[in-house]
Amino acid sequence: MTSLSFEITIGILKIFSFVVPVLVSVALLVYLERKVLGAVQLRKGPNVVGPFGILQSFADVIKLLTKENLLPSSSNKFLFIFAPMLTLILSLIAWAVIPISSTYVIANINIGILYLFAVSSFGVYGVIIAGWASNSKYPFLGALRSAAQMISYEVSIGFVIITVLICVGSLNLIEIVESQKNMWFAIPLLPMFVVFIISALAETNRLPFDLPEDEATLVAGFFTEYSSISFGLFFLAEYANMILMSSLTVILFLGGWYPPIDIFPLNAIPGIFWFIIKVFLILFVFLWVRATFPRYRYDQLMRLGWKIFLPLTLIWVVITSAFLFYFGLLPN
Amino acid sequence: MFLVGSFFLFAAFLITTCIFVIFSKNPVNSVLFLVLAFLNSTFLFILIGAEFVGIILAIVYIGAVAILFLFVVMMLDIQITTLMFNIKRYVPLALLFAGIILAEIIYLTVFKTSKVNIDTFIRSKNNTEQIGDVLYTKYFIDFQLSGIVLLLAMIGAIVLTHVYRPTIKRQNIDSQNSTTAKDRVQLVKIKSGDGIKDD
């Protein structure tokens, strides 16, 4: 009995060792985003709360927590409160299989990548339930847009993942990273890498694909009716999802915890630092894109997903498998 | 002990959610309970060690099919009373299907037990590799045929629903992309006090 309670304690500690850093890095990511946007637009960004304004996000959280949580009288109360919780839960449970280094992982399961794909495809439920439960025009339109958009881009993400899996021969995330020890997949599969990053932007509802929360046409999209902490949970989940998609990009294409070249000063740095550096590099690309590109029109978004990415990824799956088969490079 | 306990827990949840799917007054709640039912059947698959089938069930049914159900149901404006009134009409059909499925389960569990020792079967390779081994060799024809059936269903649905209406204005993306500033804006030098000639 003591061994069982010991294992449960260890499990809970492991979970905390992932969840707490993720939530802290969400706060830092919000700060980083505002600083990067400020730098791009020749402003200073947040610079009042704490040294260099670094405590700005924590001040925002305290503000959100102390505000009143409004429930629209015509909403479906249970689903209205449940939707932001579901969104946040889904963005956190995905971390159960993310390997930060070859040993630092909660659950090393042999279908890790499918688990991640499943969890990220459930993410649309939070949005669509929020939009419906609000019982209001703009949230509903935002939810419909989000559902169509996320399903469309999941198709191309699926094919990109299949391309990587053909090269690895395993669904285990640690094996995916270990097969990139000599060469990162971003180099031979460069077009898929680009497609994956663009699809990740669409999957996380980030600019230039943030049509579900398009403030010019839909006020705030699916969370128009949300206030205080329930809005805060959506906000938290969006940024946690960004970090998750960046980690997935790093695992699939940028060699996880491996240094770029296996030579002395680089490989002396622990793998976990390489992982974090790469994740922040991808996150910077997310913010950079947000500062640079205007928002897509909805028909352009759908056209890009179905008429360009889907054929491109499908052809690339065939080309990759044909190449590997012809040169006898298929794993196993 | 743990396995049996979890099996009964998830099976009980599965049956409860299925009952709620039928008896929820609001169709949106029905679909959400259906999602829970799919999730519980995923857990059941994972419990017997078929994690690949389980997670594929979750991706396909929860991640795609149920979302489209929800999408459609949310946009319907159904009168709740008429929906409840009509349920009795479907009872005979439902009993028929339940009977068939029950007969299948009894046939499979009582009369046709598997000869393969499942323990060694599972341990030797992970079940993703095992499915891959037989899917493209032993069941190649069946697999491709089911793919073609699905493709036909998809094309059929598109043909049935796609109506070309010439009155609708469409975006011509190619012409939009190939437009340059010269096609849209004309720079004119005007002497002061001269005005623009309208020709």
The angle that helices A137-168 and A228-253 make with each other, rounded to 10 degrees, is: 20
Q: pTM of the full predicted structure?
A: 0.84
Mean pLDDT value of segment A191-212: 86
pLDDT in tens, A68-97: 888 888 878 888 888 899 999 998 998 888
Q: Chain B contact for A144, CB < 8 A?
A: yes
Q: Chain A contact for B46, CB < 8 A?
A: no
Given a cut of 80, whether residue A5 has pLDDT beyond it is yes
Q: What is the DSSP string of A186-208?
A: TTTTHHHHHHHHHHHHHHTT-TT
- Between the CA of residue A125 and those of A80, A230, A289, B72, what are the distances in Å? 12, 16, 26, 14
Q: Do A171 and B128 touch (CB under 8 A)?
A: yes
Using DSSP's 3-state secondary structure scheme, residue A309 falls into helix
Residue-level pLDDT at B114: 62
Instruction: Record the tokens describing residue B114, joined without a space.
Output: 């598997």
Give A61→chain B minimum CA distance, Å.
31
The angle that helices A77-93 and A228-253 make with each other, rounded to 10 degrees, is: 30
Closest Cα in chain A to B46: A111
Q: Chain A contact for B126, CB < 8 A?
A: yes
Residue-level pLDDT at A315: 93
**CA pair distance A165, A176, nearest whole angstrom:** 8
**CA pair distance A327, A330, nearest whole angstrom:** 8
pLDDT in tens, B40-62: 999 988 888 788 888 999 988 98
pLDDT in tens, A226-248: 888 888 888 888 899 999 999 99
- Between the CA of residue A180 and those of A112, A259, B85, B106, what are the distances in Å? 17, 11, 60, 49
**CA pair distance B20, B15, nearest whole angstrom:** 9
Q: Do A132 and B56 touch (CB under 8 A)?
A: no
**CA pair distance A273, A100, nearest whole angstrom:** 9
- Kindly state the helix (H) or strand (E) to which residue B73 belongs, with its residue range: helix B66-75
Residue-level pLDDT at B111: 74
Residue-level pLDDT at B117: 54
- DSSP 8-state symbol, A296: P
**CA pair distance A270, A258, nearest whole angstrom:** 9
Residues 97-116 of A with CB under 8 A from B: 109-111, 114-115
Mean pLDDT value of segment A294-299: 84
Residue B24 or A20, more confident: A20
Given a cut of 60, whether residue A205 has pLDDT beyond it is yes
Can you tell me which residue has the tokens 């498998």? A321
Q: Do A144 and B52 touch (CB under 8 A)?
A: no
Cβ contacts of A299 on chain B, cutoff 8 Å: 171
Using DSSP's 3-state secondary structure scheme, residue B93 falls into helix
- Kindly state the helix (H) or strand (E) to which residue B19 belongs, with its residue range: helix B2-23
Cβ contacts of A129 on chain B, cutoff 8 Å: 32
Closest Cα in chain B to A137: B75
Residues 27-86 of A with CB under 8 A from B: 79
A–B interface: beta-carbon pairs under 8 A: 55
Q: Chain A contact for B132, CB < 8 A?
A: no
Can you tell me which residue has the tokens 């190939």? B178
Phi-psi region of A170 (alpha: psi -120 to 50; beta: other; left: phi over 0): beta
Cβ contacts of B32 on chain A, cutoff 8 Å: 79, 129
Residue-level pLDDT at B86: 66
Q: Chain A contact for B65, CB < 8 A?
A: no
Q: Nearest CB to B59: which of A117, A128, A132?
A: A117
**CA pair distance A137, A266, nearest whole angstrom:** 54
Residue-level pLDDT at B78: 61
A201-215, A308-322, B46-60: the lowest-pLDDT one: A201-215
Q: Chain B contact for A95, CB < 8 A?
A: no
Q: Chain B contact for A171, CB < 8 A?
A: yes
Alpha helices in chain A (DSSP H): 2-40, 56-66, 77-93, 112-133, 137-168, 173-178, 190-203, 215-218, 228-253, 264-267, 271-292, 298-303, 310-326
Q: Tell me the percentage of chain A whose pLDDT exceeds 90.
A: 15
Q: What is the DSSP string of B69-119?
A: HHHHHHH----HHHHHHHGGGGHHHHHHHHHHHHHHHHIIIII----S-HH
- Per-residue pLDDT of chain B in tens (199 residues, 90 and over written 9): 777 888 889 899 999 999 888 888 788 888 889 999 999 999 988 888 788 888 999 988 988 888 888 888 887 766 655 556 566 777 888 899 999 999 998 888 777 666 555 555 555 567 777 787 788 888 889 999 999 999 999 999 999 988 888 888 877 888 888 888 888 888 878 878 777 766 5
pLDDT in tens, A110-168: 888 999 989 988 888 888 888 888 888 888 888 888 888 888 888 889 999 999 988 88
Q: Chain B contact for A92, CB < 8 A?
A: no
pLDDT in tens, B79-112: 655 556 566 777 888 899 999 999 998 888 777 6
Instruction: Record the tokens describing residue A44, joined without a space.
Output: 């200073």
Given a cut of 60, whether residue A31 has pLDDT beyond it is yes
Q: Nearest CB to A111: which of B35, B51, B71?
A: B51
Neighbours of A7 (CB within 10 A): 10
Domains and CATH numbers, chain B: 1-84 (1.20.120.1200)
**Cis peptide, bond prior to residue A99, ω within 30 of zero:** no
Residue A330 or A292, more confident: A292
Q: Do B55 and A303 touch (CB under 8 A)?
A: no
State the Cα torsion B42-B48-B50-B54 to the nearest 10°.
Answer: 0
Using DSSP's 3-state secondary structure scheme, residue A8 falls into helix
Length of chain B: 199
Q: Nearest CB to B59: which of A118, A129, A332?
A: A118
Q: Do B128 and A303 touch (CB under 8 A)?
A: no
Q: Chain B contact for A303, CB < 8 A?
A: yes
Residue-level pLDDT at B46: 87
**CA pair distance A73, B117, nearest whole angstrom:** 59
**CA pair distance A137, A143, nearest whole angstrom:** 10
Mean pLDDT value of segment A296-302: 85
Q: Chain A contact for B18, CB < 8 A?
A: no
- DSSP 8-state symbol, B107: I
Closest Cα in chain B to A152: B64
Can you tell me which residue has the tokens 């698959």? B45
Residue-level pLDDT at B122: 54
Q: Chain A contact for B11, CB < 8 A?
A: no
Whether A175 and A214 have beta carbons less than 8 Å apart is answered as no
Residue-level pLDDT at B83: 58
Q: Do A114 and B173 touch (CB under 8 A)?
A: no
Q: What is the mean pLDDT of chain A?
A: 86
Mean pLDDT value of segment A97-120: 86
Give B45→chain A minimum CA distance, Å.
14
Residue-level pLDDT at B198: 65
- What is the complex's ipTM, to 2 decimals? 0.81
Q: Chain A contact for B152, CB < 8 A?
A: no
End-to-end CA distance of chain A: 42
Q: Chain A contact for B74, CB < 8 A?
A: yes
Residue-level pLDDT at A148: 84
Q: Tell me the percentage of chain A whose pLDDT exceeds 70.
A: 99
Residue-level pLDDT at A243: 92
**Cis peptide, bond prior to residue B27, ω within 30 of zero:** no
Q: Nearest CB to A114: which of B59, B71, B173?
A: B59
**CA pair distance A199, A213, nearest whole angstrom:** 17
